[in-house]
């Protein structure tokens, strides 16, 4: 039976926006992490991807396997090594007013300091854009911070990022 998730932190982007949202000093007493987000950016596109980095690392220690679709033609890609995870979706400023994307990222065994980490995610944004896939963080050591970084512009006011942990 799945164990309950416990709220560790939540951030709501303030007026004026911000280009990065970071959860720092993540409690190391749990086994798995779940990030849920509802995001919009100030970028002029209808939707855009944003980056995710662990422990502040911008080194090429991430591998991405991604599937993406806007309705009729799904695509896939494998990117390795890269400097961050990508393909998490946010609605851009050209999306319908007040629409935000939704997504989640699950990180298993984040405290194990002797192995790399795996994660999977799914996200959706207007107009019918969806993405999902698996990620590898090829660095041993526990995950103690997670950053979400726009490719351009800022996360818009009222974007929400919430971090949960599971025993």
Find out whether 146 and 54 touch, Cβ atoms under 8 Å: yes
pLDDT of res. 78 = 87
**Between these two residues, 155 and 70, which has the higher pLDDT value?**
155
Q: Closest Cα to residue 147, out of 48, 25, 60?
A: 25
Distance, in Å, from the CA atom of 122 to the CA atom of 143, rounded to the nearest integer, reads 20
pLDDT of res. 1 = 44
pLDDT of res. 2 = 60
The CATH code of the domain that includes 162 is 2.60.120
Between the ranges 8-22, 53-67, 75-89, 110-124, where is the mean pLDDT highest? 8-22
In angstroms, what is the C-alpha Rg of the chain? 15
Distance, in Å, from the CA atom of 136 to the CA atom of 148, rounded to the nearest integer, reads 16
Residue-range definition of the domain harbouring residue 95: 5-166
Question: β-strands 160-166, 129-137: how paired?
Answer: unpaired
Distance, in Å, from the CA atom of 11 to the CA atom of 28, rounded to the nearest integer, reads 19
What domain count does the chain have?
Answer: 1
């Amino acid at each position: 039976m799945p164990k309950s998730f416990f709220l560790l932190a939540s951030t709501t982007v303030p007026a004026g926006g911000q280009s990065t949202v970071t959860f720092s000093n993540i409690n190391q007493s749990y086994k798995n992490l779940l990030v849920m987000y509802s995001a919009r950016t100030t970028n002029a596109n209808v939707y855009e991807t944003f980056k995710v980095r662990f422990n502040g690392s911008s080194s090429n220690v991430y591998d991405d396997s991604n599937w993406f679709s806007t309705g009729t033609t799904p695509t896939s890609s494998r990117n390795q090594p890269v400097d961050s995870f990508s393909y998490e979706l946010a609605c851009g400023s050209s999306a319908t007013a007040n629409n935000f994307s939704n997504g989640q990222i699950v990180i298993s065994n984040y405290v194990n300091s002797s192995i790399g980490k795996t994660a999977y995610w799914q996200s959706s944004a207007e107009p019918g854009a969806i993405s999902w896939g698996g990620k590898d963080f090829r660095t041993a050591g526990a995950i103690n911070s997670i950053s979400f970084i726009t490719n351009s512009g800022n996360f818009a006011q009222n974007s929400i990022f919430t971090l949960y942990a599971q025993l």
